[in-house]
Chains A and B, each alone.
Chain A
Amino acid sequence: MQLTKETLEQLADTSRVYLKEEEKDKILKEINQMLTQIRNLEEVETDVLPTIDFTPDKVGFREDIVQKSLSLEEVFRNAPDEYEDFFRVPKIIED
C-alpha cells in the first residue's frame, strides 16, 4: 500500500517539517519509491532476535567528574536569537 498525501501531511506535522504545497507530490512519490524497497523485508524469514546493541564490550560509562564547560559566550555564539543569558523563543504562555 502506498502512503497517501494525508499520511504525508501527518508525518510532516509529527516531524515538524513544513512542506510547501508544490513540493508535496514530488516528496510523496519519492518516499513511496523508497518504502517500496524497504517493504521487501517482508519476504525475509527472520527467526532470530533483533540486533539491539552490538558494541563489543560494555558501554563506556565514565566517572562523574566536574569538568570545565563552555562559556556563555561560546554557548550563545551560534544562537539565532538571545536575550541576556537566554535563548529567545516566541511567546508560548497566553496573557
Chain B
Amino acid sequence: MELFNITIKEANKLLNEKQITSEELVETFISRIENVDKKIKAYITIDENQALKDGKKADKGIDVNSPLKGVPLAVKDNICTKDLKTTCASKMLEDFIPPYDATVVKKLKDCGAVVLGKTNLDEFAMGSTGKNSVFFRTKNPWNLNRTPGGSSGGSAAAVAAGECVFALGSDTGGSVRQPASFCGVVGLKPTYGRISRFGLTAYASSLDQIGPITKDVTDCAIVMEAISGQDPKDATSSEMPISEFQKSLQCDVKGLKIGIIEEYFTDKIDENVKQAVIAAAKVLEDQGAYCDKVSFSHINKAPWAYRAIALAEAASNMARYDGIRFGYRAEKYEDLVDLYKKSRGEGFGNEVKKRILLGTYLSDFDEKGYYLKAQKVRTLLINEFKEKFKEYDLIIAPTTHTVAYEIGQSIDSTTAHIEDMCTTPANLAGLPAISIPCGFSKGLPIGLQIIGKPFDESTVLRAAYTFEQLTDYHRKHPVIEEE
C-alpha cells in the first residue's frame, strides 16, 4: 500500500512503533500534494512550513496521548485557522487571516494533529458541485471530468486522492455527505449541537454542522471523539456527554431495526445506486439486522423547506460582510451606504448574491409567509422521524441519487430537488447521518446513507463499521498519475 493512502489508525501504529516520524509523514503528504494537486486542485492554501514545524514538534514528544498526534489533516476553507488564510473561496475574504482557531481546529491541534492546508469549496459553502468557488474547480480523483461534489468538495477530494490522512468539512444541506459519496470516502454530519461551530463561517445557523471526512469508519470515530463536546463559545453546542465512539466499532447489528426510505426508490434514482443500497441492506440483514421499507410522507417536501430556511438565514448571516472591519472593500464609492453596496456587490459571487437577495425577500418582503410555512413543514418532518424512530433504530437511504456529475453538466430543478431530498432531511431534523462507500457505477463511487436518532452517532457508526468489515469498497483508491 502507498503511504499516502494511510488511515489515522495505521499512521498512529507506524508512529508509535517508530517506523516513521511525523515529519516524514508530513513530507509524504506535501510531496503527494506537489505530485497530484495540479490535477485535483483540492487545496486553496498549503501551509508547508508550519506543517513541517508542527510535525517536528509532534516528534519531539508533546505531552498528549491521542491517536491523532502527528497525523496530517486538511481543513475546509470556511473553518478558521489562526494565522492561516481562510477565504471561504470568496473574493470577499481572499486575504482574510483569522486571529483565532475554530474550536474544532484548536481541539485537533491540542491532540497534536498537523494542519497541511485549506481546501476548496463552493463560495461560502453555497453549492453542491464546487463550481461556485471564485478560485478554481476541484476535480473528482476517480475521474477528472467529474465533480467531487460540494460544498466540501476540496476536503473529500483531498482525502480520496491521498493528499491528507483526513479532513474537516461542513454540512448545511448535505455538504459533507454528498462529496464523501461522490469521492468514495466516509463523511459524517453529526447531530446538531454535537460539535462546536465557533470559528465556522455561518451559512444557515439552524442547519450548519461540522463533520469529519475520513478514509474509513474507524477514523471517523477517532475524529469524532476529538472534536465533539460542549463549548462555551457556541451556545448551541450541547452538554450531552461525549460518547466513546471508538467503543461502538463492533461488527454487530444483530436485532437492529433498520428502515429503508421507500420514497427514494423511484425511477428518478439511478438504477445502480438503487441496487447498491438494497444490496447494502441485505449485507446488514445477513448479520441479523431487521430491514424493512418505511414510508415518509413529508420527505419530498424537505427541499422546499430547506431552501426557504437556508436562504433566509443566509441573508442574515451574510450581513456582517460590510467592508468595514475585515474583508473586501470596494475601491470606488460615494458614501457609506455606497461603500457597503459596492463592497458586497463586487466581493460576492453570483450564487451568494442570489441567496442573499431571495433570503431578504423571504425575511422581509414575502407576504405569503413561506419562511414560517417552511418551519411548519420542518416540524412535520421532525415529528415523522420521531415517530419512525419509535420503531426503528436506524434509517437508511442513498446519499445521492446518482454518481458524480460531469463537470459543466447542468442540473435542472428536478435533479436538484431529488439531490436535496436525499440529504436535507437530516439537517432539518438535526439528526446524525453518515455516508459510506457501498459500490461503484461507471467506475464512480456510490454512497450509503445511515441516519440515526439525535445524539446516537454510536449506533450509526456501529452499523457503518459492520458494513465496512464485510465489504472492501473503502479499501479501493483512485489511481492518479503523478507528475
Binding site for B on A (CB under 8 A): 3, 7-8, 10-12, 14-20, 23, 26-27, 30-31, 33-42, 44, 46, 48-52, 54-62, 70, 74-75, 77-81, 87, 89-90, 92
Contact = CB atoms under 8 A, between A and B. Distances in A.
Interface in B323-362: 323-329, 333, 335-342, 344-346, 348, 350, 353-354, 356-358, 360-362
Contacts of B340: 16
Given A40-B304, A44-B380, 8 more contacts: A11-B365, A12-B357, A18-B341, A34-B307, A56-B193, A56-B430, A62-B232, A80-B329
Range for the number of chain B residues in contact with chain A: 35 or more
Contacts of A90: 333, 335-336, 339
A75 B430 CA distance: 34
A84 B307 CA distance: 44
A56 B350 contact: no
Given A37-B307, A57-B239, A16 B377 contact: no
B361 A35 contact: yes
B383 A48 contact: yes
B235 A59 contact: yes
B372 interface: yes
Contact of B361 (A11, A16, A48, A70): A11
A71 B259 CA distance: 53
A75 to B, nearest CB: 7
B53 to A, nearest CB: 21
Nearest to B377: A44
B235 A60 contact: yes
Contact of B378 (A34, A50, A89): A50
Contacts of B362: 38
Contacts of B350: 23, 26-27
A15 B324 contact: no
Interface stretch (B8-16, B94-102, B215-223, B465-473): B94-102
Contact of A77 (B97, B329, B333): B97
17 contacts: A11-B360, A17-B356, A17-B357, A26-B350, A31-B361, A34-B311, A38-B304, A40-B304, A44-B373, A54-B382, A56-B238, A60-B234, A77-B97, A79-B326, A80-B327, A80-B329, A90-B335
Contacts of B232: 60, 62
A48 B380 contact: yes
B237 A60 contact: yes
Contacts of B298: 44
Contact of B375 (A12, A52, A57, A92): A52
B353 to A, nearest CB: 6
Interface in B361-408: 361-362, 364-365, 368, 370, 372-380, 382-383
A80 to B, nearest CB: 4
Contact of B192 (A27, A54, A58, A81): A54
Given A57-B240, A74-B99, A10 B455 contact: no
Contact of A31 (B325, B342, B346, B354): B354
Interface in B212-268: 230-232, 234-240
Given A34-B307, A34-B354, A38-B304, A92 B335 contact: yes
Contacts of B239: 57-58, 60
Nearest to A8: B357
Contacts of B319: 15-16
B353 A14 contact: no
B106 interface: no
Given A37-B413, A46-B377, A18 B430 contact: no
B305 interface: yes
A50 B358 CA distance: 21
Contact of A51 (B240, B368, B379): B379
A15 B356 contact: yes
A27 B373 contact: no
Contacts of A79: 324-326
Contacts of B354: 27, 30-31, 34
A27 B454 CA distance: 38
Contact of B376 (A39, A46, A54, A60): A46
Contacts of A55: 192-193, 236, 238
B376 A16 contact: no
Contact of A37 (B304, B322, B348, B454): B304
- State the 8 A-B residue pairs at the shortest beta-carbon distance, nearest first: A18-B345, A50-B375, A80-B329, A78-B326, A46-B376, A74-B99, A18-B341, A62-B232
Contact of B379 (A38, A41, A48): A48
B263 to A, nearest CB: 15
B434 interface: no
Contacts of A75: 99
Nearest to A3: B361
Interface in B60-88: none
A60 B236 contact: yes
Contacts of B192: 54-55
B337 A16 contact: yes
A20 B338 CA distance: 13
B303 interface: yes
A70 B100 contact: yes
Contact of B357 (A11, A20, A89): A11
Given A27-B354, A51-B375, A17 B327 contact: no
